[in-house]
Structure 1
Amino acid sequence: MSKLKRPTSPLSDGSVPHKRHRSDSGVPYIKISSFENAAAVDKVPPLKKLQDLMSRSWDNSTSGPGLAVVYWMRMADLRIEDNRALARASSMAQKENIPLIAMYAISPQDYEAHDRSARRIDFMLRNLVVLKEKFNALHIPFYVFNHRPRKTLPQAVVALLESWRVTNIFANLEYEVDELRRDIRVWELGKQKGIRSVFLHDRVIVDPGVCKTKQDKPYTANCQVYSPWLKTWTESLNKNLVWLEAAPAPHPNDISVRGSTTFGDLFRSDIPDFVNGFECCDAITMRQFWPAGTEHARQILDRFFTTKAKSTQLGNVSPLAEGAESSVGGSRIIKYGDDRDKADIDSTSRISPYLASGVISAREIVRKTMDFLKIKKVEASRGNGVGIWVQELAWRDFYNHVLTSFPRVSMGRPFQEKFADVKWETNEIHLQAWKVGKTGVPIVDAAMRQLNTMGWMHNRCRMITAMYLTKDLMLDWRLGEKYFMENLIDGDLASNNGGWQWSASTGTDPQPYFRIFNPYAQSEKADPTGNYIRHYVPELAGLKGKGLRFSMNSSTTLSYYGQPDGPIGSSSNSGSLNDFKFKSSLYIPQRGGTPHAPDPTSSDTTLKEISDLSNMDVDWHGRDETIAESTCLVLDTNILLRYLEVIEQFTEDLEKCSLSPLVTIVIPGIVVQELDYQKKGRNENLAWFSRTASTWILKKLKEHKTVRGQSYGETCQRSGKWTIRDMGESNDSLIVDCALYFKRKQGQRVFVVSEDKNLSSMALFNDLAAINPNAKWSSRELAAQIFGHGCPVLRNFRGYQPSYRNSKVKKALDDELGPQPPAQVTDSDDTMEVDDDYTSNIEESEPPPSHILDSTHLQIIQHFTILLLVLVERVASHMFKQVEQKRSGSAASIHAPESGPPPKTAADCVEYLIDFRSGKFPRSAPPDSLGLIQAGGARLRDFLTKPYQRGARRGQDWTRADWVYCLTVLETLGDVWEESSIRISLHTLAPHLDGDFRKKMRPTGI
């Protein structure tokens, strides 16, 4: 083989142009068969059709044995040892006393159709050179030819056999649809010419179709999981150990064949330096990493069995590099169960390129594990490193079995056809950043750079990068599958496709709701020392700890990553628009058939409940007869939309220090209607805030403490009802009317709280005091405006805490309410004194939110606590009744079952609702939904626990995947219990979350 041509060089962005692209713009071309074509192929799988043809007996004895027997070598059986088709061909040649001819067809269009990498083709050519030498030593001609177009390859092969007067050809099966169709055509054409074609199973350890259920169906059917299939695979193999026996080595030809006029020239067949269109620009590097030949494969395997893992062996070094410490008891295969997920050491065998190309047989590898353990059965349990490693070999069989039973997966179709219409994102910038390792997520970038430099990637990192592309960036899994095939030296359609579909949750055993990897948590698992990231992302070599794993927000690396807003897609855990909505709507089965999102205009019962509670006959002023004067705060809608956190803190502070009788917060009826109008989708960026405000109002009204609503009759309108307006009355007029009622009829001191200048002016004109908030408004500032700045009671109220809004929400608030007034600067000594003594009279509280995700997380906890308490009260009313009976002193039935205290927090509610032992779940609950709730209930409980409590975390500390998963579980829980308010709330939350996750992280010191 002459010196390799190197016509290309790495691109400026770090990627390598290993082959020509079919598309120069837009999203790269993906081959996707139509549903009808794929279904037709599935109905009559090509493998079954070929096997049926070969099962038909026909006599070609009239053609005689021919002048030779041909072994047709394929891309996945590049070896002489333990090769079934080669052994059968050699045996027949010996029996008939005729020479054996080996043949190999280079078909560039097949490589292009399957996205073969230039590295894989280069590895193939280098192994062909080694094989030619071996065949030559056995006096077996090895004829290698190049053929285009691929559709006429069967005719070319049969014509070649005719010219050699061959009547028998043997080959090992390839399981892809195109290759099986090719072999069917060869068989049919050969039969017409009196040529018998024999195709044998050799790629897998257990032949496809062997592992079946008790119903005699493939285990891969009906979305069966890997575990029961593995059990059958292991049992079948141990009952038939003959399947593992090595195929005999080929016999040498008589040396006289070299002088044959028919076959002598075949010895001069040359192996090309490269295949046009698949020139490998880093061929020299690939030679160093992956030397050709079965002998090298065996050496690599031996080292896996006899040497310890070493960190210096990671990265761009050959698996045969010196320096690994010899050890059998502490070898990598022994420690495989503990170390297999670690990419920062050479914990794996790195035998995959040789296995994918058939340079070593899978049977030989399994036999070696048996010899190593000195046992006479296959060990595939999870109890030891050897068994776990054998399971990895079994995965290879599993995906080939899937491919033969469901050939549509090799046609661009998902295994789960119900996910064929998933709406993936289209973002070429994100795709290219992922390809070249510049996403801003260190573990993803390190893994992609390993692929781009080595043509290989650690298995755990393959899952991490695949999950990131499909679950975070929401890009089509076929784009990732294609890029891997175009760059991997061990690219195998069955395993690569199976792995990508598993990661995208479109394949066998789909679990989209909780098969979502957090790249940052996975970084700690796959790279505990950080050496893997430092090696492949040298820009981060000086960082340690979380700074290394979250370094994309570091100013020292932003220029490199080119992501000024942090990782592509979002902040810490990038994802698609409305991730959890996507997951729940497209992945989780919905009752009633077709998945659908909730109608944002559908009404809930909140408005009616607020109205009913507001019009109840409640004696508010009987709370404390000793209060000489109470203050009434009448809130405008803009206060509840922009400053709800301040109002919440103020009411909490009032109630904690028993000052709630001093102040009553009144919600005008028109404000409730305006909130209802907003939450029904007038502006999706405000709907979430409107809904949380309405839910909070409902909660406080039920408590009968600090907040009350305006009843229909609490008005100064001539009609006697505020709902019947006087001529020319505006919404602002109705708010002033509400305030005037409490001032004139109730004799209370009244403040209209609004940032609307027109409403404030109208209030002042009617002799009403007005409170206008500003950007740094706080519970204490509001208390100061009521009680006076020098009042000692202010020590019981919290100071300013930052409020976080994403840019879309800020714009929506400004468009709807006007710009937020700037913070006011005061030189008041009294105020400063209160600030200094603030912590003396109140309990030490948790640190305030330091990121928008923290703030949104708290909003979610508070909002859904209310909804979940309503749900639990509905399904377990007896608990609340017992508490009420004890409080009132009324006797409960002696026969009534004693129950524990009712839940008080969202976490308590989740704990109660997911208690499967109680059998509380509705009988109509779908099994899939119950499975999701059972699997994710504990995580949802922790997610809905306020930060700084056991098991809890801040919003920014939960990954995007965790948010998606937990909110999906919450949505499913609401659906199972038929609490529509939960689903509706999640629907309004979705667009708000998308903007929050685009807010980049920054160090907080908290």
Structure 2
Amino acid sequence: MSTALHWFRNDLRIADNPGLTKACDTSSHVIGVYCICEKQMQQHGEGSRRFKFILDNLTVLKAQLADLNIPLIILDSKTFEGAVEDIVQMVDELSIESLCFNVEYPINERLRDKLLCEQLEKSASVSVHRLVDQSLIHPAKVLNGSGQPYKVFTPFKKACISMLAEYDLMLDPTPKQQSEINDNKLNKLLTQSDELIKHYQNQLAANSQSDCKIAAGEVAAEQALNKFIGGALQYYPQQRDIPSDAGTSQLSPYLAVGVLSVKQCWLKARQIRNESTSEKAINTWCDELIWRDFYRYVMWHQPTVCKHNPFQAWTDKVQWTDNNTHFQRWCEGKTGIPIVDAGMRQMNETGWMHNRVRMIVASFLCKNLLADWRKGEAYFMQQLVDADFPSNNGGWQWSASVGTDAAPYFRVFNPMLQAERFDPEGEYIKRWVPELAKVDKRILHKENLKKRHSHSLDYPEPIVDLKATRQAAIDAFKEAK
């Protein structure tokens, strides 16, 4: 009887998993494998919260797969090179005839897969199947009239929507129970897998920064999706920028590690056109899903952005400052700018930050502090449970005015005006910056709030002057250009 191996990466689910479905279609026996690459994660700057969330989801996935008679082997590969060696060894030792995996778009992942395929080409006994899972449409298929990749979001979005209208977009079928595998070598690997997960969970338990309160598994992800679709989505265009409200989907952690697919989100939203949810609301959220695809698309067609390079090459000439004191104050949420401090403290405590606030704190770091955007990008990767390299990189390049479709360099967010517009009552600020709990909302969004407040405040003065630093940033970009 033939045996197929599905290599799980950022696709920790059973439903709508093209690679897993293919493995089940091609063979009577199916084995799953996941390679923990701790050293590689450290090199990529991924934090312990994301790792903890991955382990939690692996535990759930392993039990789900066992019900389908699909054993999930977890290997301690350390690096991508080690993962390739481990997969090649598994293919040989377990007589694998078919290897399936879903393609990833960053450059190191692509090089890893290229190396694996080259290694397996030496063996005539295994066929390799690479499937599309990370985006609604594979980036190679979305090109302009000249056969070139799009460099601006709006025409990319229009092309995607047009193509999706022509496709019969469907979820991949959920695998049925497979034939049971009885193999002593496999059983030993399963026992080692359980021990490996416990080892890393115990290691993370000693790290307070690895705490993650998000429920793991596909059931939890589906419940969160259904809750959003049936509730907050109808108010999404009005509420998505209000950080004190639960107006966003908050599905990013599940999407980041593939417990939920972008296709599941897209189709679920498209299926609920009715009187209670407007077309505008559905389209606004679906646009955000396409933005997520776009940052993956950029990475596929211009992989230099994976190597700490800006999309707009000339912006690498911007003379960023190197004020470590300012950067540390930003990291700690002690800048004296309430909305910035609220956002940073929310992320430091929970591993998540509201998207509007992400843009505000990023703009403040890059424009008002004139700090290199790559420092902020790295800090977010360390802290966020939903750390997703393409989205994080694309978002930071946008905020810093160095990426594709970037905000023009002369457009600088005023964090005080942003707070006044999106947190007028100060609910969000006062939740995360309790020192300001008794400050009147009429002065909360003023730079000189300490002077205006009638009592002393245990809160810092702004570390920079917003107007002066705005002009300094504009001048720095002008000089570089």
Q: Please state which band the TM-score falls in when normalised by the shorter chain.
A: over 0.9
1:612-652 CA distance string (max 9 Å, x none): xxxxxxxxxxxxxxxxxxxxxxxxxxxxxxxxxxxxxxxxx
1:355 corresponds to which residue? 255
| Paired residues of 1:171 and 1:199 also in contact (CA < 8 A) | yes
Aligned residue runs from structure 1 range 880-919, under 5 A: none
Q: How big is the shift at 1:282?
A: 4.1
How many residues were matched structurally? Answer: 474
Counterparts in 2 of 1:523 and 1:410: CA distance versus 1, 3 Å: same
Instruction: Report the equivalent of 1:207.
Output: 138
- 1:860-919 CA-to-partner distances (Å, cap 9, x unmatched) read xxxxxxxxxxxxxxxxxxxxxxxxxxxxxxxxxxxxxxxxxxxxxxxxxxxxxxxxxxxx
8 Å CA contact 1:118–1:280 kept in 2: the answer is no
Does structure 2 retain, via aligned residues, the 8 Å contact 1:414–1:501?
A: yes
The whole-number CA distance in structure 1 between the counterparts of 2:158 and 2:293 is: 13
Q: Structure 2 matches for 1:336-351, cutoff 5 A?
A: 336-351=236-251
Structure 1 residue 396, shift from structure 2 partner: 0.5
- Residue 578 in 1 paired to residue 478 in 2? no
Shift of 1:261: 3.2
Cα 1:278–1:586, aligned 2, differ >3 Å: closer, same or farther? farther
> 1:898-941: CA deviations, max 9, x gaps?
xxxxxxxxxxxxxxxxxxxxxxxxxxxxxxxxxxxxxxxxxxxx
2:212 corresponds in structure 1 to 286
Query: What is the identity, as a one-letter code, of the residue corresponding to 2:164?
Result: L
User: Is contact 2:204-2:210 (8 Å) kept?
Assistant: no
Alpha carbons of structure 1 residues 558 and 301: separation in structure 2 relative to 1, 3 Å: farther
In the TM superposition, what is the alpha-carbon distance from 1:154 to its structure 2 partner?
A: 1.4
> After alignment, is 512-521 or 530-539 more displaced?
512-521
SS of the residue aligned with 2:101? strand
Residue in 1 that maps onto 2:179: 254
Partner Cα separation in structure 2 for residue 116 and residue 503 of structure 1: 21
Structure 1 residues 119 and 280, CA gap change in structure 2 (3 angstroms): farther
> 2: distance between equivalents of 1:411 and 1:451?
25
Deviation, 1:543, is 0.9
Deviations 1:174-213 (A, max 9, x none): 1111111111010010111233322211011111122221
TM-score of the superposed pair, with normalisation by structure 2: 0.93
Aligned to 2:342: 446
1:165 aligned to which of 95, 114, 128: 95
Aligned equivalents of 1:520, 1:235: Cα separation in 2 = 40
Contact kept, 8 Å, 1:187 with 1:196, in 2: the verdict is no
Matching residue of 2:6: 71
Counterparts of 1:325-724 in structure 2, within 5 Å, are 332-373=232-273, 384-550=280-446, 553-554=449-450, 560-561=458-459, 563=460, 566-568=461-463, 570-573=464-467, 575=469, 578-587=472-481
CA distance in 2 between counterparts of 1:276 and 1:196 reads 38
Counterpart amino acid of 1:206?
A: I
Q: 2:160 is aligned with what amino acid?
A: W
Cα distance in 2 between the residues matched to 1:572 and 1:189: 55
Match of 2:186 among 263, 275, 283: 263
* Structure-2 change in CA distance of 1:387 and 1:442 (3 Å): same
| Change in 2 beyond 3 A, CA 1:280/1:544 | farther
1:759 is matched with none
Q: Determine which of 132, 137, 144 is the counterpart of 2:62.
A: 132
1:278 Cα deviation (Å)?
5.8
Change (3 A) 1:333 1:298: same
- The secondary structure found in structure 1 opposite 2:429 is helix
Provide the secondary structure at the position in 1 that maps to 2:184: coil
**Contact 1:88-1:170 within 8 A present in 2 as well:** yes
Distance 1:250 1:108, change over 3 A: same
Deviation at 1:106, TM superposition (A): 0.2
Residues 374 and 559 of structure 1, relative CA distance in 2, 3 Å threshold? closer
Partner of 1:114: 44
What is the 5 A alignment of 1:206-225? 206-220=137-151, 225=152
Compared CA separation, residues 513 and 143, structure 1 to 2 (3 A):
closer
Give 1:583 deviation, angstroms: 3.1
Please give the alpha-carbon distance, in whole angstroms, between the structure 2 residues aligned to 1:276 and 1:150: 23
Distance 1:358 1:131 in 2: 11
Q: Which runs of structure 2 are paired with 1:22-33 in the superposition (5 Å)?
A: none
Which residue does the alignment assign to 2:20? 86
Deviation at 1:340, TM superposition (A): 1.1
Residues 450/512 of structure 1: CA separation in 2 closer, same or farther (3 Å cut): same
Match of 2:71 in 1: 141
Shift of 1:262: 4.0
| In 2, Cα distance between equivalents of 1:401 and 1:354 | 20
Q: 2:284 & 2:111 partners in 1: Cα distance?
A: 35
Q: Aligned partners of 1:110, 1:574: CA distance in 2, in Å?
A: 41
Structure 1 residues 452 and 68 mapped into 2: Cα distance closer, same or farther (>3 Å)?
same
What are the residue-to-residue correspondences of 1:711-860 with 2, within 5 Å? none
C-alpha offsets along residues 191-241 of structure 1, whole Å, 9 cap, x if unaligned? 112333222110111111222211111112xxxx2111111111111111x
Closer/same/farther in 2, CA of residues 160 and 284 from structure 1, 3 Å limit: closer
Structure with bigger helix share is: 2
Q: Matched residues in 2 for 1:388 and 1:138: separation?
A: 38
Q: What stretches of structure 1 of length at least 5 have no aligned partner?
A: 1-65, 308-331, 588-1006
Q: For the Cα contact (< 8 Å) 2:410–2:474, is it kept in 1?
A: no
What amino acid sits opposite 2:33 in the alignment?
M
Matched, 1:177 2:107: yes
Root-mean-square deviation (CA, aligned residues, Å) is 2.3
Query: CA 1:292–1:282 in structure 2 vs 1: closer, same or farther (change >3 Å)?
Result: farther
SS at match of 1:272: helix
Contact 1:118 1:486 in 2 (8 A): yes
- Which letter maps to 2:24? S
Kindly provide the amino acid, as one letter, of the partner of residue 150 in structure 2: Y
Contact 1:108 1:148 in 2 (8 A): yes
Q: Is the 8 A contact 2:416 2:447 kept in 1?
A: no
Q: Once the two structures are superposed, what CA deviation does each residue of 1:718-767 show, in whole Å capped at 9, x if it has no partner?
A: xxxxxxxxxxxxxxxxxxxxxxxxxxxxxxxxxxxxxxxxxxxxxxxxxx
How big is each residue's C-alpha offset from its partner over 1:292-335, in whole Å with a ceiling of 9 and x where there is no partner?
A: 0111111111221233xxxxxxxxxxxxxxxxxxxxxxxx2111
* CA shift in 2, pair 1:285/1:121, >3 Å: closer
Q: 1:552 Cα shift?
A: 6.1
Q: How far is 1:523 from its partner?
A: 0.6
5+ residue gaps in structure 2? none
**Would the aligned equivalents of 1:174 and 1:180 in 2 still touch at CA under 8 Å?**
yes
TM-score by length of 1: 0.45
Measure, in 1, the Cα distance between the counterparts of 2:448 and 2:43.
37
| Distance change >3 Å, CA 369–CA 542, structure 1 → 2 | same
Output the CA distance in 1 between the equivalents of 2:479 and 2:106. Answer: 33
Tell whether 2:233 aligns with 1:302: no
- Is 1:101 aligned to residue 25 of structure 2? no
1:375-426 CA distances to partner (integer Å, 9 max, x unpaired)?
Answer: 9xxx9xx961111011000000000000000001111011111111211000
Deviations 1:78-135 (A, max 9, x none): 10110000000011113xxxx1000000001221121111111000000000001101
Q: State the percentage of identical aligned residues.
A: 35
Cα gap change, 1:147/1:189 in structure 2, threshold over 3 Å: closer, same or farther?
same
Distance in 2 (CA, whole Å) between partners of 1:69 and 1:448 is: 45
Counterpart of 1:70 in 2: which secondary structure? strand
Compute the displacement of 1:149 (Å): 4.4
- Structure 1 residues 265 and 235: CA distance shift in structure 2, 3 A: same
**Displacement of 1:152:** 3.3
